[in-house]
Amino acid sequence: MTDKAILEEKIMSKASDNDSPQENSLINIQNYDFFYGDKQVLFDVNMDIPAKQIVSFIGPSGCGKSTLLRNINRMNDLVDGVHHNGDITINGQSNYDPHLDVISLRRRVGMVFQKSNPFPKSIYENVVYGLRIAGVKNRSVLDEAVERSLRASFLWEEVKDRLKDSALGLSGGQMQRLCIARAIASGPEIILMDEPCSALDPIATLKIEELIHELKKNYTIVIVTHSMQQASRVSDKTAFFYLGELIEYSDTDQLFSTPKEKKTEDYISGRFG
């Protein structure tokens, strides 16, 4: 299996994480419409997400930001009756290319969910889950991946003595960091985060934010958040969505200090939403 070979190689040579070319645009979204059945939830979205940057999606509930995020790794395929117009490309390859293997796409685009969802397995097994299902059996590769991912998610020092314990014994913040470790273990390029801190207390949130900041060195991160403070703290660029439309998309500082659109200004100043 070629996928497996690529994965093994990637994990053993840490260098490979750093030497991917600095492209201007990694994810490219063009004229993207999206429908749940008859209901259109995204209207003509156009945006470029640059590599090794953190982009946050903000906007009121139901504005379509999570939907867009979940289309980047095609998680919305699981919902019945969805269809779309336009295209999303990653590194120039279309997400809707009929030859594209959705499974390998999801391996390249990791995801962290709103509710932490560790599997009812040991901490170790949680982290190596993606590798195991890709067919990696080599013990040293797995051990290496566990340590690297857990270190990267600042969890190593806390759990290194109880890797064989159930992941369900961890605290909420630790569980979410474990989910991040799980997402980065199989060496993705992009990590999607769907409101990763919404169920966490402020201290745990702070830790996750530090972690996100650290991960920026190696990964492109797209984060959906309800907290404008969080968006302004962690992200390089921010996109504001309203009723399925991308209203404004620019550098975070600019968007929060001098928004171009009236709607953006109303939203960030708390006049609605």
Partner 1 sequence: MKKNNTNKPKGDSWVWFTSLGLSTGLLMVTGILIYILCQGLSAFWPKDVAQVKVNPDSSVNINGSKTIAGVVVKDQIKRKEINGEFKDVQELQLFVANRDLYNLSFIYIDKKDIEQKKYPENLMMVERLNDSKAIIIPTKLIKEDKTEIPFEDASFEAEFSKLVQEAENIRDKAYDIQVGPISDIVKKNKNLVVDQYPYYEKLKFNNETIQYLEQYRNAVESLDKISIGFLGLPSDEQAKYPESKEYLKLFSEAQLKLSEIGGSDFKNYQEIQEKISKGKVEESELVKQVTSLQKDLNKHTLEFTTASGYNSKVTIGNVIHYFYPNRLSTGNKIGMFFSNAWNFLTEDPRHANTEGGVFPAIVGTLMMTILMCIFVTPFGVIAAIFLHEYAKQGTIVRMVRIAINNLAGVPSIVYGAFGLAFFVYYVGGSIDELFYGDWVKSGNGAMFGTGGMLWASLTLALLTVPVVIVATEEALAAVPRGIREGALGCGASKWQMIKTVVLPACAPGIITGMILAMARGAGEVAPLMLVGVADIASELPIDSAFPFGLERKFLHLGYNVYHVGFKTVDSEASQPLVFATTLLLISIVALLNLAGIIIRQRLKKRYATSAF
Which residues lie near partner 1 (CB under 8 A)? 73, 75, 78, 80, 103-104, 106-107, 110-111, 113, 115-120, 129-130, 132-134, 168, 172, 175, 179, 182-183, 186, 199
Shortest distance, position 63 Cβ to partner 1, whole Å: 21
In the bound state with partner 1, the residue whose beta carbon lies nearer, of 78 and 203, is 78
Give 74-132 as a DSSP string. TGGGGSTTEEEEEEEEETTEETT-TT--HHHHHHHEEEE-SS----SSBHHHHHHHHHH
Helices (H), 98-223: 102-108, 123-133, 139-152, 156-159, 172-185, 202-215
Pairing of strands 54-58, 82-90: unpaired
Based on C-alpha coordinates, what's the Rg of the chain? 18
Q: Could you give phi then psi for residue 61, rounded to 5 degrees?
A: -55, 140
Shortest distance, position 115 Cβ to partner 1, whole Å: 5
Pairing of strands 190-194, 109-112: parallel
Contact 159, 150 (CB under 8 A): yes
CA distances from 224 to 133, 152, 171, 252 (A): 28, 21, 22, 14
Shortest distance, position 118 Cβ to partner 1, whole Å: 6
Shortest distance, position 259 Cβ to partner 1, whole Å: 33
Shortest distance, position 116 Cβ to partner 1, whole Å: 6
Measured distance CA(178)–CA(153) in Å, rounded: 7
Shortest distance, position 52 Cβ to partner 1, whole Å: 21
| CA-wise closest residue to 73 among 31, 44, 101, 115 | 101
Quick count: other Cβ atoms within 10 Å of Cβ 46? Answer: 12
Chain centroid, CA 258 distance in Å: 27
CA distances from 215 to 18, 137, 139, 188, 226 (A): 12, 26, 25, 12, 21
Shortest distance, position 138 Cβ to partner 1, whole Å: 18
Measured distance CA(125)–CA(107) in Å, rounded: 17
In the bound state with partner 1, the residue whose beta carbon lies nearer, of 35 and 113, is 113
Shortest distance, position 111 Cβ to partner 1, whole Å: 4
